Chain A
């Protein structure tokens, strides 16, 4: 490490970032920008009873990411030796890394994973390690394409490892590739990648975009399969996780931690490397920077560029809009990196996530409004189908809180998204069947789980497509639906603004053509003078609700 430079110094190029902020809407408040899939809307919220929560401005990134990485590997946290000391010539080393679902949108090159993996491989080479595998820890997500892998790990790493079969996607359905390491005291099977289990060291390379990621979840979920996942990706766990983002209150988190202990007790040594990024999602300058500004601070140029963008998008066919947006790569900067023992590392990571994301909010609201963007973790380079709309709104955005949900029990959630009845047939084949068959029968998560989950999870065609094509596992749409089950139980009504009415109805939601209509429909449930809170998301933030 270069002792002259402090890798933790931030770049300090910008004015001090402002924290998140709650705006009370009055008559002079400008219309608020709503994301609406691959389009945008400007909406006027009722004065006197509405508020808008703005995300904190992007924190400064680390000035010297490479230096920070080297420093973290050499100065581990918790009960761990430096990485270099853990490497020896005759060992089996497995480097596992987060898959294409992180971060959102994808980051500009070089990806943090590439920077870290190159640093780890440099140390391994110095130590003479020659048995190295790199595994995309995708659990039951779809396999990453060559382009996506190249983007994550860089061309140099890809070309050195992929051709010889030492860089690959995790395959949770490979009968020879998976082992069961044991069972937690709660009777949960802990299934794990055989290669990882048989390695002398597993190095996990993470990018933390929400506080739910990382920790034992990285390996206990990322390198496992349906046999393990079914123990925590189920309706019971979801409903008992009051906020997935708050580890103390997350049954999902607790289950992953129990599994982490079994993995550790089975002798699997994990060197965890976690990173956080700022929420510089749309850039401080450039074509989308207006999305990151607060409306009353828009200048004439911002307004003009927003209107031009909105008009330009309106005339494009949805395919063309999708293409424009899926090519957007965010100029995120790394705000922290910590390596070493899993739990100690994760504690610091979580604190760093909150440092960027948390916004203090006082009291719950009757109506929560949100504009859903074009992307969620499961449609990168793909289509945001209706089930993913549900998952993003009810599973993710609803759950971005600590304390209590932003919307009161029995309140109304209004989300704005075109919700087309459209699926990516290669990435989401079982979603099509889920939408056609399962949701046509029932939208009740318990019923869905009981009647249909096993059949889809074990369907040999879906398994074939997961293993050999680029399909999410057959059970994945179930997990997406379960993800929203806590919100479904909590809310009095869900209304989708500007969605395909048939698709919205299939999910058991109500559709409204305008926000005004939606607010009126909501008043049937929460009364005419209900309070309204709008989460201006993305960039991602988290409400600390008191």
Chain B
């Protein structure tokens, strides 16, 4: 089968980091990612099934890995060589169309009893991601044994698979996984009346859609760098969209706060006297988190959705204003308004169709144009795009498997 494979190769890793810092996405050219022919992965356990991807998205975390930017933190959580790709809509051998919930929790690792997180349905918080039947890997797409979505086939545990309603297009279906991240993050910000969403890439946009679906009364401010992001953010439910450098003033206006400045003569807005109830940070840079701390009201909450890597932060405002800084990683099981548990993926599948999130898939590429695809994904904002995906529907190997 045809696959993009990521090998552990330190010199190439360094080359990727250099190339990626120069031209984002370029790490794909010189780095340890290679298009190869592999044997289709063996099924790691008796119930496992083969999935043949139709569309497979390129995520910000994939790009970070490819450009050598991801944190050392992940080193024990992956097993080499692996095939990336965790945003997948594909076919089973019996023709069922499915989307992948890529988290590899206790059940897929054949661990019994499961860890407390898995038992509670919070798969994303599984405490056993390096144990059990499988090599390390927190998700399909970073585990050697399962393969991943950037190939004509990979292995999945049935617990990871969700059938797709016929009404959904492949483009809509491939958006379910990233949308689930946004839904999960939005739920973590619940209870706020005014929210600022920082960043309007895929995560920011799906988070805005999720927040709007959750609460029609909510005031949503958003930052967006590019015109198409501004337009989409507004269409998906943001009340006010501003450039990132304008967010402090915008948050001040919309919350009727005063600005507090270190110096009275330069007019800078260092922070607000009050601020928004919650910030959902879909960027994860020190600048965005610092902005978040400047505009969150005392006792408010910052939900970190964007992968932060290593940042340098002044935490005094967090301490002084008793702000909660919390992470929002993937998804699992949420609590519905009536108290019943509901899978994030099911909420995401609904949102994808009601908010027409299939429109966020801007371009698709065949596997052999992976370098173009990665550069397009890395420059998506600049180039007027949102989500870039591999299209495997016409790969010949796919049908020969």
Contacts and interface: CB of A to CB of B under 8 A. Distances in A.
Interface in B244-290: 246, 249-250, 252-253, 256-259, 264-268
B258 A460 contact: yes
Contact of A433 (B243, B249, B257, B268): B249
B267 A426 contact: yes
Nearest to A432: B249
Contacts of A432: 249
Contact of B253 (A425, A426, A437): A437
A461 interface: yes
B14 interface: no
Contacts of B253: 433, 437, 455, 459
Interface centre among B242, B250, B253 (most CB of A within 10 A): B253
Given A426-B266, A429-B267, A436 B246 contact: yes
A469 interface: yes
Contacts of A461: 252, 256-259
A464 interface: yes
Given A459-B253, A461-B259, A437 B267 contact: no
B256 A436 contact: no
B268 A425 contact: yes
B245 to A, nearest CB: 9
Contacts of A455: 253
Interface residues of B, number: 17
Nearest to B253: A433
Interface string B320-337: 000000000000000000
Contacts of A429: 267
Nearest to A469: B264
A360 to B, nearest CB: 46
A314 to B, nearest CB: 28
A455 B240 CA distance: 15
B54 to A, nearest CB: 40
Q: Could you say which interface size class chain A belongs to?
A: 10 to 19
B78 to A, nearest CB: 43
A455 B250 CA distance: 13
A471 to B, nearest CB: 8
Interface string B72-107: 000000000000000000000000000000000000
B313 to A, nearest CB: 25
Contacts of A425: 266-268
A457 B95 CA distance: 63
A437 B253 CA distance: 9
A75 B160 CA distance: 97
Contacts of A440: 242
A440 B250 CA distance: 12
Contacts of B265: 426
B266 A436 contact: no
B250 A437 contact: yes
B103 to A, nearest CB: 41
A436 B267 contact: no
Contacts of B246: 436
A345 B75 CA distance: 85
A476 to B, nearest CB: 15
A455 B252 CA distance: 12
A427 to B, nearest CB: 8
A280 to B, nearest CB: 34
Given A425-B266, A425-B267, A426-B266, A436 B249 contact: yes
B242 to A, nearest CB: 7
Contacts of A426: 264-267
Interface in A433-473: 433, 436-437, 440, 455, 459-461, 464, 469
A53 to B, nearest CB: 39
Contacts of B266: 425-426
B258 A437 contact: no
A464 B264 CA distance: 12
Given A459-B256, A461-B258, A437 B242 contact: yes
B268 A436 contact: no
A469 B264 CA distance: 8
Interface string B272-316: 000000000000000000000000000000000000000000000
Interface centre among B242, B249, B257, B266 (most CB of A within 10 A): B249
Contacts of A424: 267
B20 to A, nearest CB: 30
A460 B259 CA distance: 10
Contacts of A459: 253, 256
B318 to A, nearest CB: 23
A529 B114 CA distance: 85
Contacts of B243: 436
A426 B261 CA distance: 11
Contacts of A436: 242-243, 246, 249-250
A325 to B, nearest CB: 21
Interface centre among A425, A461, A464 (most CB of B within 10 A): A461
A426 B249 CA distance: 14
Contacts of B257: 461
Contacts of B267: 424-426, 429
Nearest to B260: A461
A432 B245 CA distance: 12
A432 B268 CA distance: 11
A528 to B, nearest CB: 34
A429 B266 CA distance: 10
B242 A460 contact: no
Interface string B94-130: 0000000000000000000000000000000000000
Contacts of A437: 240, 242, 250, 253
A464 B240 CA distance: 25
Nearest to A428: B267
A126 to B, nearest CB: 42
A348 B63 CA distance: 76
A461 B246 CA distance: 17
Interface string B214-254: 00000000000000000000000000101100100110110
Contacts of B259: 461
A425 to B, nearest CB: 2
B256 A460 contact: yes
Contacts of A464: 258
A440 B230 CA distance: 12
A425 B256 CA distance: 18
A521 B248 CA distance: 38
A473 to B, nearest CB: 15
A518 B152 CA distance: 58
Contacts of B252: 461
A429 B264 CA distance: 12
Contacts of B256: 459-461
A432 B264 CA distance: 17
A501 to B, nearest CB: 15
Interface of B: 240, 242-243, 246, 249-250, 252-253, 256-259, 264-268
Given A426-B265, A433-B253, A460-B258, 17 more contacts: A424-B267, A425-B266, A425-B268, A426-B266, A436-B242, A436-B243, A436-B246, A436-B250, A437-B240, A440-B242, A459-B253, A459-B256, A460-B256, A461-B252, A461-B256, A464-B258, A469-B264
12 contacts: A425-B266, A429-B267, A436-B243, A436-B246, A436-B250, A437-B242, A455-B253, A459-B253, A460-B258, A461-B252, A461-B256, A461-B258
Q: What are the 9 closest A-B residue pairs judged by CB atoms, nearest first?
A: A425-B267, A461-B258, A426-B267, A436-B246, A433-B249, A433-B253, A429-B267, A461-B259, A426-B265
